[in-house]
Amino acid sequence: MPRPANSHSWQTLFSPLLLCFGLLLNLPAQAGQNFAADPGKVQLKPLVENLKEPWSMTFLPDGRLLVTEKSGKLRMIENGKLLQQTIANVPEVVDRGQGGLLDIALHPQYAENGWLYLSYSAKGEGGSGTEVMRAKLKGMQLTDSEVIFRQAPKINSNKHFGSRLVFDREGFLYITLGDRGEMERAQDLAQHIGKVIRLHDDGRVPQDNPFANNPDALPEIYSYGHRNVQGATLNPFNGKVWTHEHGPQGGDEINIVQAGTNFGWPVITYGVNYFTGTKIGEGTKKPGMAQPLYKWVPSIAPSGMAFYTGDAYPGWKNHLFVGSLKFQTLVKLTLDGDKVVKEERLFENLGRVRDVRQGPDGLLYLLAGNKLLKLEPAPR
């Protein structure tokens, strides 16, 4: 599918300016700010305020928190305090543009096997690409590390790494990958770019992957036609893997990943070219290409996603929460099965909300700007 005239050149020229402008919008969070939830209230509590470009987090079984910083540092937060010592033996990353040290996830049987997983942009022949490493945490260092996935090909681009990691109920690992700013690659099954990957926990390819027996496709691919998937989570109520991805100026999408599905980018999209506002691809619908479960027009620039399963906030159980980089807010979505029936935006000026997680205490935690924030029920 030919790229619309001048769209890539405009994006390539101005994307650094857009990135810088976005970073300037990291306004401070307002401690104690209330939002009238139905039927209760919540308030924000800053826990750590001196992180540097945090990207993802995960809770260890003992309550400690690991946080990735895009520059390549893996940080430990213990008893609400950021330790000065960083975790050693983290893989070398390419910290340029949207690349760096990105997602972190624990194996579903972490308590038994100790495996944790990191995604990051790595240097290689042709440029850089997303890789996934698994390792074990012993004290303040990683050991027994092994790279279980390398994106192919690596290319000379600093955009759209995607890079979320999520395990399903059967223990399969899903890796989300963006189009790297070169949109046509998302439709090419001979490369990983613009795809969702499905692997065994050790990097082996499942025999029932949809393209495992297709000589013209890479067997790791599970779905394709993605622009930049920066949110992925397991729906704990039905076991489905949900994702969301960035659209251009509009057309951010929430999707449920299904084997072999073509999600359409860049052939169909609800977004438009930057600056010119001109049409991309063939329109918004085409036979054989999936429609989004939910979309945002204009874009909110979503990042991070979590289903809430606790009881700490009255009326919030079974809701979906998504961070917004653009509007610096937390988006609360009310669901009816697999349908989004209501959207609310909670708080203002949080900083760019990069990740959302539910903690072992049943509370929601956010990485926003340079802060770790906790949502607490407001005193009554």
* Whole-number Cα distances in Å, 340 to 49, 252, 296, 333: 33, 14, 12, 6
Catalytic residue among 160, 192, 226, 244: 160
197 by DSSP, 3-state: which? Answer: strand
Q: Is 160 a catalytic residue?
A: yes
Q: Which residues contact 102 (CB under 8 A, 6 or more apart)?
A: 55, 56, 68, 70, 118, 119, 120, 121, 130, 161, 163
Strands of 339-346's sheet in order across: 302-307, 320-324, 329-336, 339-346
Concatenated DSSP letters of 4-33? PTTHHHHHHHHHHHHHHHHHHT-PPP-TT-
The DSSP element (H or E) to which 111 belongs, if any, is: helix 110-113
Q: Which of 180, 111, 112, 123 is nearest to 147 (CA)?
A: 123
The DSSP element (H or E) to which 113 belongs, if any, is: helix 110-113
Distance CA 71, CA 173 (A): 25
Concatenated DSSP letters of 213-224? T-TTS-TTEEEE
Give catalytic residue positions: 160
